[in-house]
């Protein structure tokens, strides 16, 4: 026996949800998506790695007091 539903479905919301669920089926690499992928997967991690490697062992935080320099000599 079917239970009556008190929720009315909006066809526009249902179409939007279906579009979002099936987005991977229609994806293509275009110039824009390639640039976004390159930026997120290559450029940003390489900049973070460069900054981290340049500042590694540059500062010494242990045993410093107010007014002491953090830069290692």
Q: Could you tell me the pLDDT band of residue 70, with boundaries at 50, 70 and 90? A: confident
pLDDT for 3 beyond 80: no
pLDDT for 1 beyond 70: no
pLDDT for 2: 65
pLDDT for 17 beyond 90: yes
What mean pLDDT value characterizes the chain? 89
Dmax (CA) of the chain: 82
pLDDT for 72: 73
pLDDT for 67: 82
Q: How far apart are CA 37 and CA 39, in angstroms?
A: 5
Tokens 């045993």 -> residue: 63
pTM of the model: 0.62
């Amino acid at each position: 026996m079917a239970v009556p539903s008190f929720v009315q479905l909006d066809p526009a919301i249902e179409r939007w949800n279906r579009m979002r669920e099936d987005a991977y089926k229609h994806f293509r690499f275009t110039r824009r998506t390639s640039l976004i992928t390159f930026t997120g997967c290559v450029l940003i991690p390489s900049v973070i790695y460069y900054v981290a490697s340049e500042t590694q062992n540059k500062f010494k935080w242990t045993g410093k007091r107010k007014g002491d320099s953090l830069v290692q000599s």
